[in-house]
Amino acid sequence: ELKVEQNPLFLSMQEGKNYTIYCNYSTTSDRLYWYRQDPGKSLESLFVLLSNGAVKQEGRLMASLDTKARLSTLHITAAVHDLSATYFCAVDIIGNQFYFGTGTSLTVIP
Amino acid sequence: DTGVSQDPRHKITKRGQNVTFRCDPISEHNRLYWYRQTLGQGPEFLTYFQNEAQLEKSRLLSDRFSAERPKGSFSTLEIQRTEQGDSAMYLCASSFLLGTEAFFGQGTRLTVV
């Protein structure tokens, strides 16, 4: 069975600091997505990574994909309070059957 | 286009009752997905459609769950004989092509009492 694991599950970081969230998955895929979810809200698409070595950046967030290592990272640069949310990676195995990770709950402390 | 729309946003039902949720996808999207999300977990894939064809339904949680997309536009998810364990957020998403991201609706929060 496919497993998508994120690390860490909970992250508390100070404003201005950098950190990386890791997403490991257990089967071959070259399509990976990152989503953000605020409490009580739906999921907002952040990044679409469609090939090995793909790197996307938006503001203080940067995502990368290593399909050989079955690993994606979401790097946070100089965190700000507005980034507090839960972040999910999702692996697409067959026809957009997204398999979501466990989520990383991020709290940015002033 | 206002995005993926789900109705109702909240539903409280008594155990044993049937419930039906509606999802209106982004108009040009031909793929539609249903997910369930419980507290503290990531969304769990249930089923998906390409146009009106239901291409995967083996991951529906039990035979009490069914979904339709009769004209390839909106979709409904029905849960029969609800149980307390069905309490969750039910999310609908749509996408245009394979390899593009899915856009999620606001979800329907179901509480079974």
pLDDT tens digits, one per residue of A8-38: 999 999 999 999 999 999 988 878 999 999 9
Chains A & B: contacts with CB separation below 8 Å: 62
pLDDT at A64: 97
Which residues of chain B have a CB within 8 Å of the CB of A48?
99-101
Say yes or no for a CB contact (<8 Å) between B100 and A48.
yes
Peptide bond into B8 cis (omega under 30): yes
pLDDT at A26: 93
| Partners of B19 in beta bridges | B79
CA–CA dist A78, A80 (Å, integer) = 7
Peptide bond into A8 cis (omega under 30): yes
Q: Does residue A95 have a pLDDT over 70? A: no
Task: Give the type of residue at A91.
Answer: V
Closest CA to B42 of A107, A31, A71, A104: A104
Look at strands A85-92 and A104-109 and give their pairing. Answer: antiparallel
In percent, the amount of chain A with pLDDT more than 70 equals: 98
Q: What is the pLDDT of residues B3-51, one digit of tens each?
A: 999 999 999 999 999 999 999 999 989 999 999 999 889 999 999 999 8
Using the Cβ of A66 and the Cβ atoms of chain B, whether some distance falls under 8 Å is answered with no
pLDDT at B97: 74
Q: Does residue B1 have a pLDDT over 60? A: no
Residue A96: pLDDT band with limits 50, 70, 90:
low
Say yes or no for a CB contact (<8 Å) between B99 and A50.
yes
DSSP string spanning B68-113? E-TTSS-EEEEE-S--GGG-EEEEEEEESSTTSPPEE---EEEEE-
Alpha helix locations (H) across A1-107? Answer: none
Using the Cβ of A24 and the Cβ atoms of chain B, whether some distance falls under 8 Å is answered with no
Look at strands A10-14 and A104-109 and give their pairing. Answer: parallel
Q: What is the pLDDT of residues B79-110, one digit of tens each?
A: 999 999 999 999 999 998 766 888 999 999 99
Using the Cβ of B103 and the Cβ atoms of chain A, whether some distance falls under 8 Å is answered with yes
Say yes or no for a CB contact (<8 Å) between B101 and A43.
no
Among the partner-chain residues A44, A88, A96, the one whose CB lies closest to the CB of B33 is A96
